[in-house]
């Protein structure tokens, strides 16, 4: 067994928090640049150019690319040969988030109670997801999720008879209702199958996939491409001002489900698609 002290995660999470909010990865930057070639609206191209310039300035000056620095969603893919030593793993992750948001001068957006709504003043607690995988490594991914895009997501349970047409209509309706509120061009994460809560987890996990990375399942890959075309045909455009680039990609994650149900969730991600990862 490989033993990792939980305190070792504090500086890693801290740095990933800052990196995710200030340094957008090359996969996203390339997708934004490529989208300028297919955007038919002059104003849309101007907006895309501004988004690229904003991201470049954020990286150079090491400042947040957006004022909504989100709630920290943390993914831990933990090798089954790893054993933990030290204080609470959850507490150490939250300490990394706390330090990252403080040192990065990032906005504190978390309230401690959904009804009383008093700010926790350090952007904790984070939303933490763990998965046990093979091996002796741990992959840590920080995905700050802003409210503009998160608020536009939806989840439901369709009837199996609704089929592919029902899935397409649900996703298109979700994007259409969001309009410019989720700060397009979007990455559209779709979760299909499992149970009601599993589909929502799948939809958010889909946002971690690189833009342009198709599902390994042929009919799902075709559905991703069909949805991307239909979404861009809506004409919502960059930041909702109209145009031919409403989404940069659509990613679908699936899981087996009950014979009588078809759970579906859609999680929209804004054009910044902030995330950062490290494997230890």
Binning pLDDT at 50, 70 and 90, where does residue 62 land? Answer: very high
pLDDT > 90: percent of the chain: 100
pLDDT > 70: percent of the chain: 100
Q: Measure the CA–CA gap between 227 and 29, rounded to whole angstroms.
A: 22
Report, as an integer, the average pLDDT of 216-225.
Answer: 98
Binning pLDDT at 50, 70 and 90, where does residue 64 land? Answer: very high
Binning pLDDT at 50, 70 and 90, where does residue 216 land? Answer: very high
Report, as an integer, the average pLDDT of 137-155.
Answer: 97
Q: Measure the CA–CA gap between 190 and 253, rounded to whole angstroms.
A: 6
Structure tokens at 8: 């070792």
Structure tokens at 22: 């200030």
Which residue, chain included where needed, has tokens 């969001």? 178
Binning pLDDT at 50, 70 and 90, where does residue 30 land? Answer: very high
Report, as an integer, the average pLDDT of 168-196.
Answer: 98
Whether the Cβ atoms of residue 111 and residue 71 lie closer than 8 Å to each other: no
Mean pLDDT of the chain: 97
SS3 state at 90 = helix
Q: Measure the CA–CA gap between 257 and 248, rounded to whole angstroms.
A: 28
- What pLDDT score was predicted for residue 120? 98
Number of other CB atoms surrounding residue 232 within 10 Å: 23
Q: Measure the CA–CA gap between 6 and 84, rounded to whole angstroms.
A: 6
Binning pLDDT at 50, 70 and 90, where does residue 135 land? Answer: very high
The 10s digit of each residue's pLDDT in 39-59 is: 999 999 999 999 999 999 999
Q: What pTM, to 2 d.p., does this model score? A: 0.96
- What pLDDT score was predicted for residue 88? 98
The 10s digit of each residue's pLDDT in 100-134 is: 999 999 999 999 999 999 999 999 999 999 999 99
- What pLDDT score was predicted for residue 256? 98
């Amino acid at each position: 067994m490989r033993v990792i002290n939980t305190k070792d995660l504090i500086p890693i999470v801290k740095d990933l928090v800052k990196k995710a909010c200030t340094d957008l990865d090359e996969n996203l930057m390339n997708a934004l640049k490529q989208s300028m070639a297919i955007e038919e609206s002059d104003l849309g191209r101007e907006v895309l150019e501004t988004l690229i310039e904003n991201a470049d300035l954020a990286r150079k000056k090491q400042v947040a690319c957006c004022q909504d620095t989100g709630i920290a969603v943390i993914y831990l893919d933990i090798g089954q040969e790893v054993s933990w030593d030290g204080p609470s793993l959850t507490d150490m992750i939250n300490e990394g988030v706390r330090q990252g948001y403080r040192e990065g001068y990032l906005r504190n957006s978390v309230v401690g109670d959904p009804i009383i709504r008093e700010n926790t003043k350090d952007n904790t607690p984070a939303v933490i997801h763990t998965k046990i995988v093979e091996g002796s490594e741990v992959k840590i991914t920080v995905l700050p999720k802003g409210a503009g895009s998160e608020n536009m997501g939806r989840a439901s349970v369709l009837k199996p008879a609704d089929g592919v047409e029902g899935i397409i209509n649900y996703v298109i309706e979700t994007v259409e209702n969001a309009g410019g509120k989720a700060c397009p061009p979007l990455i559209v994460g779709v979760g299909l199958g499992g149970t009601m809560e599993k589909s929502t987890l799948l939809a958010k996990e889909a946002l971690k996939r690189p833009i342009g990375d198709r599902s390994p399942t042929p009919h799902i890959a075709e559905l991703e491409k069909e949805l991307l075309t239909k979404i861009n045909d809506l004409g919502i455009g960059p930041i909702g001002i109209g145009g031919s680039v409403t989404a940069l990609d659509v990613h679908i994650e699936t899981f087996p489900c009950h014979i009588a149900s078809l759970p579906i969730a859609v999680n929209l991600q804004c054009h910044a698609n902030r995330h950062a990862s490290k494997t230890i």
